[in-house]
């Protein structure tokens, strides 16, 4: 059996690994020229952690991961205002948590691929065909690849979804804007991440994830083991449109925050080295068309508000591979994958939307409420409850349903 997967991120590489292990021939098309090095720190736990463990990746991920002591919010002078130990978060998920840079997780998956997986960097597709009897893609250089199944694992702005799932007014494939309008739900924020050199900021953040305690916009920093600093930013905006120059947009949006923020913005690399996107969820009414299907952010992005997209990307890929391996009919396997996995991600998407206020307070009152909640987290029992809410194990504490 043969699969063509578009997208070599966590979901795509995870699926390639799972299908390769089951003796499928797999081609992965990845538009980036090599493994992506840009990225941000993720907390990896939940079903993806279990999937990684079953794939034998746990030791490697812990080796690449970071020991974070504390999540710390600071004022404009860098003084601690509130925080929570990572041990509390870790306990809430039964000690099964890794803080790891997203590119390192992708690297671990890539390194583990069986030889029958052919990853083609610098390659994308220009069309997708598929019905119940077969599927094929045409690459940007005109090459045609036939397959038993074609999978779009190409993220929130998926080309496979646009080409195979969205029609323009005249029946032709839709534009990216049409597709976004139909399948991407903007949650009211933009987010960015970049990596820079600064020994002083590195020393100030070592061992902790340090965030500004601010309303409507927030920047966070963590020290990487190679001596550089990774920055993460999020701000509220009703506009889903992305700026032409992300670095300029960041300087304008965050320049007024105190502490080390202006200095970090001066060290920010050029726009093409900055990760910048809207914070969004994807919702696709049916995840498969014939033998073309979607996985990960392409069809069920939960957004960084849920903090579990990578985990769900890998775990969903595993569910998809299991169904394809067990069920002789590809279309039945695709239906079973969606039946099994959609309820899980729908629940996480809902929880993420409920947590918007907690994630980035709007007012000084909300900010104070967050500080008080974090202070209360030191009390026995409360910390575990709060950490469970943060990690999505329970809802309800900050407006959750």
| Distance separating alpha carbons of residues 105 and 398, to the nearest angstrom | 30
- Residue 44 near ligand FAD by CB under 6 A: yes
Cα angle vertex 45, ends 42, 47, to 5°? Answer: 125
Distance of CA 9 to the CA centre of its chain: 9
CB of 49 to ligand FAD, least distance (A): 9
Alpha helices in 22-156 (DSSP H): 47-54, 58-64, 86-92, 102-111
The span of 3-11, 63-71, 328-336, 353-361 binding ligand FAD (CB under 6 A) equals: 3-11
Residues sharing a CB contact under 8 Å with residue 166, sequence separation 6 or more, in sequence order: 173, 174, 178, 179, 182, 183
CB of 258 to ligand FAD, least distance (A): 22
CA-based Rg of the chain, rounded to a whole angstrom?
21
- Residue 8 near ligand FAD by CB under 6 A: yes
Residue (50 or 375) nearer to ligand FAD, CB: 50
- Residue 319 near ligand FAD by CB under 6 A: no
Q: State which of residues 112, 166, 191, 349 lies at the interface with ligand FAD (CB under 6 A).
A: 191
CB of 326 to ligand FAD, least distance (A): 23
CB of 392 to ligand FAD, least distance (A): 10
CB-CB contact of 226 with 253 (8 Å): no
CA distances from 298 to 7, 159, 227, 301 (A): 10, 9, 34, 7
**Phi/psi of residue 295, nearest 5 degrees:** -150, 155
Match 């997708």 to its residue by tokens: 128
Which of the 8 DSSP states describes residue 31?
Answer: S
Size of the site for ligand FAD (CB under 6 A): 35
- Residue 184 near ligand FAD by CB under 6 A: no
CA distances from 321 to 27, 61, 265 (A): 14, 21, 42
Residue (7 or 383) nearer to ligand FAD, CB: 7
Q: State which of residues 3, 4, 5, 7 lies at the interface with ligand FAD (CB under 6 A).
A: 7
- Residue 351 near ligand FAD by CB under 6 A: no
Residue (67 or 79) nearer to ligand FAD, CB: 67
CA distances from 117 to 2, 24, 41, 120, 327 (A): 10, 8, 27, 10, 21
Residue (6 or 374) nearer to ligand FAD, CB: 6
- Residue 117 near ligand FAD by CB under 6 A: no
Q: State which of residues 290, 313, 361, 392 lies at the interface with ligand FAD (CB under 6 A).
A: 313
Look at residues 241, 246, 18, 33 and name the one whose alpha carbon lies nearest to residue 151.
18
- Residue 345 near ligand FAD by CB under 6 A: no
Residue (199 or 354) nearer to ligand FAD, CB: 354
Which of the 8 DSSP states describes residue 66?
Answer: B
CB of 100 to ligand FAD, least distance (A): 9
Cβ atoms within 10 Å, residue 358? 19
Q: What part of residues 12-41 is at the interface with ligand FAD (CB under 6 A)?
A: 12, 29-32, 36, 40
- Residue 220 near ligand FAD by CB under 6 A: no
Both tokens assigned to 374: 């974090």
Residues sharing a CB contact under 8 Å with residue 138, sequence separation 6 or more, in sequence order: 125, 126, 127, 144, 145
Alpha helices in 130-241 (DSSP H): 159-165, 176-183, 199-205
Match 């909300």 to its residue by tokens: 366
Residue (30 or 198) nearer to ligand FAD, CB: 30
CB of 282 to ligand FAD, least distance (A): 9
- Residue 189 near ligand FAD by CB under 6 A: no
- Residue 183 near ligand FAD by CB under 6 A: no
The span of 86-94, 153-161, 283-291, 342-350 binding ligand FAD (CB under 6 A) equals: 153-161
- Residue 102 near ligand FAD by CB under 6 A: yes
Ranked by CB distance to ligand FAD, the top (closest) residue is: 309
Q: State which of residues 5, 17, 43, 260 lies at the interface with ligand FAD (CB under 6 A).
A: 43
Cβ atoms within 10 Å, residue 290? 18
What residues make contact with ligand FAD under the rule CB under 6 A?
A: 6-12, 29-32, 36, 40, 42-44, 102, 124, 153-155, 159, 191, 193, 232, 296-297, 301, 304, 307-311, 313
């Amino acid at each position: 059996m043969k699969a063509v997967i578009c997208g070599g991120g966590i979901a795509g590489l995870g699926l390639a690994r799972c299908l390769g292990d089951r003796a499928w021939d797999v081609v992965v098309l990845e538009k980036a020229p090599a493994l992506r090095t840009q990225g941000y720190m993720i907390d990896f736990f939940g079903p993806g952690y279990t999937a990684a463990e079953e794939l034998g990746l746990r030791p490697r991920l812990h080796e690449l991961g970071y020991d974070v002591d504390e999540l710390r919010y600071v004022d404009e002078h860098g003084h601690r205002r509130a925080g929570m130990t990572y041990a509390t978060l870790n306990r809430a998920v039964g000690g099964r948590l890794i803080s790891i840079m997203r590119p390192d997780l992708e690297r671990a998956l890539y390194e583990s691929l069986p030889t029958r997986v052919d990853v083609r960097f610098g390659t994308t597709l220009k069309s997708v065909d598929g019905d119940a009897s077969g599927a094929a893609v045409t690459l940007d250089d005109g090459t045609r690849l036939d397959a038993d199944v074609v999978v779009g694992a190409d993220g929130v702005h998926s080309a496979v979804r646009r080409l195979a799932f969205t029609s323009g007014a005249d029946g032709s494939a839709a534009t990216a804007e049409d597709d976004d309008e139909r399948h991407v739900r903007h949650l009211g924020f933009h987010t960015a991440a970049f990596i820079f050199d600064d020994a002083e900021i590195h020393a100030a953040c070592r061992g902790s994830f340090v965030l500004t305690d601010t309303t409507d916009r927030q920047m966070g920093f963590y020290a990487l083991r190679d001596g550089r600093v990774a920055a993460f930013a999020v701000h509220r905006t009703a506009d889903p449109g992305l700026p032409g120059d992300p670095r300029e947009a960041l300087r304008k949006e965050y320049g007024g925050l105190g502490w080390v923020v202006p200095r970090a913005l001066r060290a920010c690399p050029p726009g093409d080295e900055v990760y910048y996107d809207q914070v969004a969820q994807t919702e696709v009414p049916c995840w498969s068309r014939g033998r073309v299907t979607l996985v990960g952010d392409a069809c069920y992005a939960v957004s960084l508000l849920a903090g579990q997209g990578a985990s769900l990307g890998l775990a969903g890929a595993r569910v998809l591979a299991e169904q394809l391996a067990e069920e002789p009919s590809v279309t039945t396997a695709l239906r079973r994958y969606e039946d099994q996995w959609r309820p899980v991600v729908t629940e996480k998407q809902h929880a993420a939307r409920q947590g918007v206020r907690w994630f980035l307070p709007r007012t000084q009152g909300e900010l104070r409420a967050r500080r008080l909640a974090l202070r209360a987290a030191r009390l026995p029992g409360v910390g575990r409850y709060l950490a469970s809410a943060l990690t999505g194990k329970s809802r309800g504490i900050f407006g959750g349903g």
